[in-house]
Structure 1
Amino acid sequence: MKILLAPDKFKGSLTARQVCDAMTEGIRLAYPQANVIAFPMADGGEGTAEVLTLATGGEWITVPVLDPLGRSIEASYGISSDRQTAFIEMSQASGLRLLQRHDYNPLKANTFGTGQLILDAFKQGVSHLVLGIGGSATNDGGTGMAAALGWQFLNDQGKPLIPCGGNLTQISRILPPVQPVHLTIDVACDVTNPLVGPNGAAAIYGPQKGASVEDIAILDEGLRHLADLIADQFGVALAEIPGAGAAGGMGAGALFFLNASLKEGVNVVIEQTRFADHLPGADLVLTGEGKIDNQTLQGKLISGIACQTRRSGIPAIALCGTLEANPAEITTLGLTAAFSVLTHPQSLDEALDTAYQAVRQTTFSLIRLFYSNSN
């Protein structure tokens, strides 16, 4: 029996690697002869760079950068074992998680540190970059990142500006870098918001970054000004592109300054791990995440895995901590079944502490059942 494991993390309790280990132990107890192939997964959000670095046998690199407010920190990214692909999450250098709540300020925060990570990867000789843009503290349209890569943003007096959300309206001219960074870049982007307007970067995501109603108006005006300037100076229209508003306009910045492609995060991960190459001959796929609910239908990892297995006619079973999806939603996902690993009422702390054992036990039970029904 060939079994593929492709779970996401169980947030707050188990990494994707640990979920794979627990599943593997459960399978070995139930069917020792099984051929188990593990693919720790992610949906393009937090942890994706680490998962892809592991999947490609790569190494984790730590470098000094500037945080969203210009303070010196260290941030990390991964490089594949063949040294051709870098895996970067902007949250490592430009993330909200780097700030205390009283420091949240999207008017001043910028993405310069993310640009430093990209530049370091380029200097390492990579030709391809996978960039995750979730969890940002910024609303600068990617101008900070661009500045780290040599772009200049000048005011009406021809003087360089510090690129940040609050300064976007002051930009009068954009100068490209003398030595541009040439990379093929895929951006893991799971939102479809345009850059500006009531569904844009500032209006939708600004409040969680500390923006007041007044700040949102300033930020939205700045992003609109940036888009108009790019359209006038370079003939590129960005404002209404789906995903341009991701991560405070980093979606638009990646499209223009990096010439990147925006892709659904889970599809980027599936592609990079070459998961589909291992489907032929598989008898079962086990996937999972901390919670399965109606959001799981909206392009999260389990949805992507189920799409792959459905095409191949392979049964897929998902494990989770909290199961809120109803039978119709589970069927719509394309799953054969979904199970919660929680077997009795317990506190959140107890559930988190016993998650490994619960995944192992549930996997053991379902493999025994699956094996007996397939013989």
Structure 2
Amino acid sequence: MRILICPDKFAGTLSAPEVAAAVVEGWREVAPDDELEVRPLADGGPGFLEVLATAISGRRIPVPTVDPLGRPVDGEILLTDDGMTAYVESAQACGLHLVAPEERDPKRTTSYGLGALIATAAECGARRVVIGLGGSAVNDGGAGMLTALNAVPVDVTGRALPYGGAALAAVAGLVGLPQTRAMELVAATDVDNPLTGPTGASNVFGPQKGASREDVLLLDAALARFAEVLERDLPGCPPGLAGLPGAGAAGGLGAAVLALGGRCESGIALVTRLTGLEAALDRADLVITGEGSFDHQSLRGKVVAGVAGAARDRGLPCVVLAGRVSAGRREAAAVGVTEAHSLVDHFGGEPHGGVERAMSRPAEGLRALANRLARQWSR
């Protein structure tokens, strides 16, 4: 039997390659003769670069940068062997995981560190930069990123704005020409939300980044103002920027990429293409995917939905393994999920509850679930 194992990361515990390795180990304990093919995946968020490095021939270049609060942090770019394309992961500089819960405040967090990564790609001679967007702690519409690329947001006096989304309420213009003018920019996004409005960056994702209801209203208005400035001051910025699909990705970083003349692309579609997932699906009898939390957001542009849909189109069963499962069974089936299993439920009978065990012993739990699946599915 041919099993395709293609999970996303389990945020906060295991990378996508580590998840896949645990599943492989558990399956082989029961069915060692089955043919297992591994394709770790990402949708643009954390782990994007690590996954692509397993599939793309190139070199990883360390880049010192800063986190959402301006503190030093290590990042990197993945530069293809021909030097023409660079891959960058926004979460390495803007990730929510870089900011402790008590520090999270999208009114002041900045995307400057991402700009430093892109600037390094430009200095390396890349003509095309693919930026994985997702899992960010920022809500500044890419203002910090643009500053690092020499397009500085200023107030009516011409002074550079402080970092953070709240400062954009006073934005009056941009000073300088962006460093990316000769480069093609592609945003690999995990969502298609617009920049502003009820389904925009501030309303949908602001609260998980530490925004109160009052903060959300302030940030949404500030992003709307910033979009107007970008349309006016950046040549090639598309009209109606605030309402474009993907503009709200990663706290509005999608809007900044679009304003620079770039485009948005589904992160999972891009990773699927680069990792050869389509051909692997054609060879499979069963597909196993997964992520840390399989919920309603998983069904919209995330790894699991992309994999399950591709499996469904081929008439293949698709099993989801997750830390926690809260997506409805009917909704999951509609996107192609045959069944879903959670570590929380697996550990639920143990002392101290399933959540604690799922977080502290994820690889062990995945091996056990893979054991069970092998007994159920292997023939």
TM range (shorter): 0.7 to 0.9
Q: CA deviation at 1:3?
A: 2.2
Equivalent in the alignment of 2:17: 17
Query: Which letter maps to 1:252?
Result: A
Equivalent in the alignment of 1:356: 363
Q: CA deviation at 1:176?
A: 5.0
CA contact (8 A) 1:201 1:248 kept: yes
Equivalent in the alignment of 2:246: 243
Query: Which letter maps to 1:223?
Result: L
Q: Secondary structure at the match of 1:307?
A: helix
Equivalent in the alignment of 1:277: 279
Equivalent in the alignment of 2:373: 366
Distance 1:31 1:80, change over 3 A: farther
Equivalent in the alignment of 2:318: 316
Distance 1:3 1:57, change over 3 A: farther
Distance 1:305 1:231, change over 3 A: same
Length, aligned pairs only: 371
Supply the distance in 2 between the matched residues of 1:205 and 1:230 (Cα, whole angstroms): 22
Q: Which runs of 5+ in 2 are unaligned?
A: none
Query: Which letter maps to 2:313?
Result: R
Q: CA deviation at 1:282?
A: 2.2
Distance 1:168 1:339, change over 3 A: closer
Distance 1:213 1:33, change over 3 A: closer
Q: Which runs of 5+ in 1 are unaligned?
A: none
Q: CA deviation at 1:5?
A: 1.1
CA contact (8 A) 2:62 2:77 kept: yes
Distance 1:275 1:170, change over 3 A: same
Equivalent in the alignment of 1:41: 41
Equivalent position to 1:345, from 331, 344, 349? 349
Supply the distance in 1 between the matched residues of 2:28 and 2:316 (Cα, whole angstroms): 21
Equivalent in the alignment of 2:132: 132
1:31 aligns with 2:35: no
CA contact (8 A) 2:191 2:300 kept: no
Q: CA deviation at 1:58?
A: 4.7
Q: CA deviation at 1:256?
A: 0.5
Distance 1:315 1:192, change over 3 A: closer
Equivalent in the alignment of 2:255: 252
Supply the distance in 2 between the matched residues of 1:102 and 1:58 (Cα, whole angstroms): 38
Supply the distance in 2 between the matched residues of 1:255 and 1:111 (Cα, whole angstroms): 16
Equivalent in the alignment of 2:305: 303
CA RMSD of aligned residues (A): 3.1
Supply the distance in 2 between the matched residues of 1:47 and 1:313 (Cα, whole angstroms): 29
Could you tell me the percent identity over the aligned residues? Answer: 38
Distance 1:339 1:223, change over 3 A: closer
Q: CA deviation at 1:120?
A: 0.8
Supply the distance in 2 between the matched residues of 1:98 and 1:122 (Cα, whole angstroms): 25
Equivalent in the alignment of 2:333: 331
Q: Deviations over 1:234-283 (max 9, x none)?
A: 573312223323333222111102x2222333223222322112223322
What does 1:1-375 align with in structure 2 at a 5 Å threshold? 1-56=1-56, 58-80=58-80, 83-101=83-101, 103-158=103-158, 160-162=160-162, 164-175=164-175, 177=177, 180-211=180-211, 215-233=215-233, 234=235, 236-257=239-260, 259-325=261-327, 327-340=329-342, 342=346, 345-346=349-350, 347-348=353-354, 349-372=356-379
Query: Which letter maps to 1:195?
Result: L
Supply the distance in 1 between the matched residues of 2:122 and 2:254 (Cα, whole angstroms): 20
Supply the distance in 1 between the matched residues of 2:342 and 2:79 (Cα, whole angstroms): 35
Distance 1:4 1:147, change over 3 A: same
Supply the distance in 1 between the matched residues of 2:215 and 2:29 (Cα, whole angstroms): 57
CA contact (8 A) 1:53 1:79 kept: no
Distance 1:199 1:58, change over 3 A: same
Distance 1:117 1:3, change over 3 A: same
Distance 1:345 1:246, change over 3 A: same
CA contact (8 A) 1:53 1:87 kept: no
Q: CA deviation at 1:304?
A: 0.8
Distance 1:225 1:371, change over 3 A: closer
CA contact (8 A) 1:201 1:247 kept: yes
Q: CA deviation at 1:95?
A: 3.3
